[in-house]
Structure 1
Amino acid sequence: MQEHEYALLGGVNRAEVGRYLGAIAAGVSAVIVFVLLTVVDLAQQFGIPTNLPPAVLSLVGAGAVFGALYWIFDRHAWRWPYIGQLLKVPDLAGDWQCDGQTLKPDGSDSYGWEGKVTIIQSWDKLRVRLKTSQSGSNSITAALIHDEADGYRLLYNYRNDPRIGEAELKSHLGFAQLVFSKDLRSAEGEYFNGHGRFTFGTMRLARI
């Protein structure tokens, strides 16, 4: 499974971030070109033979600079504390210990289970991977919500596939909702399954 795009609700719009990066890229490109041309001009004044191929200028054009800036932003810069707070996007990437509780239709406990959740996240893509002793699941779509009252809320639906030999389990689709603490060290939520396995319950996550 590959990472997929995810929606951002309550944070800074991605299109707005792209406009800011575009403006910065244009400015940076202009400065670099100006410096290169100035160096060439000074070299010629001192009689130093110089040749600045057009290909060099194209490498520092606004488009190329934007691509480099976006890669840095997508992989690293959005995680920096002050930038992350400004964008209202939490860094959830990493491994989490998951303690789940499946419930009966009347809401009473049925049975407990344990697993490990791995969240892979960049600025524009996300993947939630849950592994247990019996099965594994991967997120298909997701949305991340900035909730000023409760913290950050992650909504995602997933596909679960049982391990070989688990005859009683069937592949199924499900939905989960997790609310993360403000320090991003724990989360609580709930899930429900359908299209192959009709169960529901609660989940508690603790960052490993």
Structure 2
Amino acid sequence: MIAPQDHEYSIMGGANRASVGRLLTLAASAISGLLVFGVLHLVDLAKQLEWNVNVPPTVLSLLGAGAVFGVLYLILNKWAWKWPGIGTYLKVPDVSGVWDCEGKTLNPDGTIKFEWAGEITIVQCWDKLRIRLTTQTSGSSSISAALAQDSVDGFVLLYHYRNDPRPQAVELKSHTGCAVITIAEDLKSAEGEYFNGRGRMTFGTMTWTKRNP
């Protein structure tokens, strides 16, 4: 089994990541130019005061556009995507955190086959995501995902996952599945459906409730 990892996810209806990258590049170039100009200006002032000041090339390289871009991208990826204003522009909801999950596996006629409970942990930054569901008998991790804004219901989270049973659950088999979850606009509750493929061939519904931080 491949160890689960955070993976990239799509934003449907949000800001294009390539366009955001171009904006960061322009901002990095402008900021780098201002920083280099400021350093050189300070050096000129120091020389006018007859101070012996030398600026190593490595200092100027640290102020280059590439380095500034890296810092800006780190700030955006880790924190700024959630800030008011920037978050509105990017249209990326913050669904990270721990959710309590109540699930129902259904029969083909829609009646309840059995009920189960689990815990969902979502790790999220601007460009990567991971959805981890754990229950008493198994655990699943997302493989791919997409987030879309719903003009009526809030947000829709679609993800493909791999589920692996715990060693003691010998009657269960590893399998893959898909889930479609509608998250309320306040990002505190969600509900949706899941569908499992070869290895379990089951389907049902889930209700999520966000835990307080």
Query: In structure 1, what is the equivalent of residue 154 of structure 2?
Result: 151
Query: In structure 2, what is the equivalent of residue 26 of structure 1?
Result: 29
The TM-score normalised by the length of structure 1 is: 0.98
Corresponding residue SS for 1:12: coil
How many pairs are equivalent?
208
The residue type equivalent to 2:8 in the other structure is E
Q: CA deviation at 1:82?
A: 2.3
- CA–CA separation in structure 2 for the residues paired with 1:161 and 1:83: 38
Query: In structure 2, what is the equivalent of residue 164 of structure 1?
Result: 167
Moved over 2 A (4+): none
Q: CA deviation at 1:79?
A: 1.0
The TM-score normalised by the length of structure 2 is: 0.96
* Pairing of 1:34-49 with structure 2 (within 5 A): 34-49=37-52
Query: In structure 1, what is the equivalent of residue 120 of structure 2?
Result: 117
Q: CA deviation at 1:90?
A: 0.3
Q: CA deviation at 1:108?
A: 1.1
Task: Say whether 1:198 aligns with 2:205.
Answer: no
The residue type equivalent to 2:104 in the other structure is Q
- CA–CA separation in structure 1 for the residues paired with 2:34 and 2:151: 40
Q: CA deviation at 1:54?
A: 1.3
- CA–CA separation in structure 1 for the residues paired with 2:173 and 2:59: 57
Query: In structure 1, what is the equivalent of residue 58 of structure 2?
Result: 55
- CA–CA separation in structure 1 for the residues paired with 2:176 and 2:49: 72
Q: CA deviation at 1:117?
A: 0.3
Query: In structure 1, what is the equivalent of residue 92 of structure 2?
Result: 89
The residue type equivalent to 1:90 in the other structure is P
Residue of structure 2 aligned with 1:101, choices 90, 96, 104: 104
Contact 1:191 1:203 in 2 (8 A): yes
Q: CA deviation at 1:149?
A: 2.0
Residue of structure 1 aligned with 2:180, choices 177, 180, 201: 177
Corresponding residue SS for 1:138: strand
- CA–CA separation in structure 2 for the residues paired with 1:62 and 1:206: 43
Gaps of 5+ in 2: none
Q: CA deviation at 1:195?
A: 1.4
Corresponding residue SS for 1:204: strand
Corresponding residue SS for 1:69: helix
Gaps of 5+ in 1: none
Contact 1:10 1:147 in 2 (8 A): no
- CA–CA separation in structure 2 for the residues paired with 1:12 and 1:101: 35
The residue type equivalent to 1:99 in the other structure is E
Q: CA deviation at 1:166?
A: 0.7
- CA–CA separation in structure 1 for the residues paired with 2:41 and 2:84: 37
1:71-118 deviations in whole A, cap 9, x for unaligned? 010000001132112211100110000000110001111111000000
